[in-house]
Amino acid sequence: MTTPLVASVGWTVSHWFYRIDRARWRALSDDDRRAAIADTSAWITRASAEEGLQLIPLAMIGKADVGFMAIHSDLWRHQQLSQEISATGLGACLEPVYSFLSLSEASEYMSTDADWSRTLIDEQQVDPASPDFATKMTAFRKRMSHYVEARLHPKLPDNFPIVCFYPMAKVRGESRNWYSLPFAERKKLMQEHGESGRKYATRLTQLITTATGIDDWEWGVTLFAGDLKAIRDVVYEMRFDPGSALYGVFGGFYVGIKFGGDELQSVLRL
């Protein structure tokens, strides 16, 4: 057994997308295809029920045929999962299209006690010596604790079947460089960006993961929704925020629909 490789903060997140080599698939005998479907379906069902692992199989639209998203604390488990996918009966006919490795994180730009204290005093005119001020500060700390826990140890939603993933980064250009901005300015831009996104909280769930030094982009964004337009709307609106309009760079978008192991054959038309 290998020694677990668990990050000091956050959980490891993987995205894998594949094309099916239909010519190779059709070249298999009927018996081999049936065995491959049974083997792969059983693996999906088994892995999806594994304790400590969040695995989502995706029927992809456009850029790939099938995808998998996985969250697990141990980096070794991600390595094993990628090999298990390839080792299934269907895996022999899968061609990798794209993959992304990242870590869950809590934003460095989240509000602090000092931020909320200033809001209470300057905007809400709350006396810092009053019991009301202490109560509101306690409630704020509780909210932020829940926020950090949800970001570091995310639970993927069950109620949204559509999944959209895309990588992104911040500009390092000659005229505009996100990393040359003072921290206070970056924080202000990101808080404004977050306020735009929170308006869509009832329509979708968002998971932002960090990939700096791990993959080719700096962040990965995974959106879960029940309506494709909700994804379109939130990405469109948030691109008008200066943090994105002036400093955002986006990679390809991958859209898929969740499915279960028993749906493999019908969903992928095998």
pLDDT one-digit tens code per residue, 134-144: 999 999 999 99
Q: 12-104 has which fold?
A: Alpha-Beta Plaits (3.30.70)
Return d(Cα 163, Cα 225) in angstroms, integer: 7
For the stretch 46-59, pLDDT in tens is 999 999 999 999 99
DSSP 168-202: EEE-B-SS-BGGGS-HHHHHHHHHHHHHHHHTTTT
What is the pairing mode between strands 94-104 and 12-20? antiparallel
Q: Domain segments of the chain: what residues? A: 12-104
Give me the mean pLDDT over the 25-35 stretch: 97
Place of tokens 């008008």: 240
How many other C-beta atoms can be found within 10 angstroms of the C-beta atom of residue 237?
A: 14
pLDDT band at 254 (very low <50, low <70, confident <90, very high): very high
Amino acid at 69: M
Known catalytic residue at 254: no
Mean pLDDT for the chain overall: 94
From first CA to last CA, the distance across the chain in angstroms is 35
Helices (H) and strands (E) in the chain, counts: 9, 9
Report which DSSP code applies to 52. T
Q: Indicate the residue type of 191.
A: Q
With the C-alpha atoms ordered 104, 184, 238, 214, is the resulting torsion angle positive or negative? Answer: negative
**Residue pair 71/104 in contact by the 8 Å Cβ criterion:** yes
| Catalytic residue of the set 18, 166, 247, 254 | 166
User: What single DSSP character describes residue 63?
Assistant: S
**DSSP, res 180:** G
The model's pLDDT over 148-194, given as tens digits with 9 standing for 90+, comes to 999 999 999 999 999 999 999 999 988 899 999 999 999 999 988 88
Q: Coil, strand, or helix at residue 250?
A: strand
Q: Which amino acid is it at 266?
A: S
Closest Cα to residue 165, out of 236, 245, 224?
A: 224
Joined together, the tokens standing for residue 10 give 């956050």
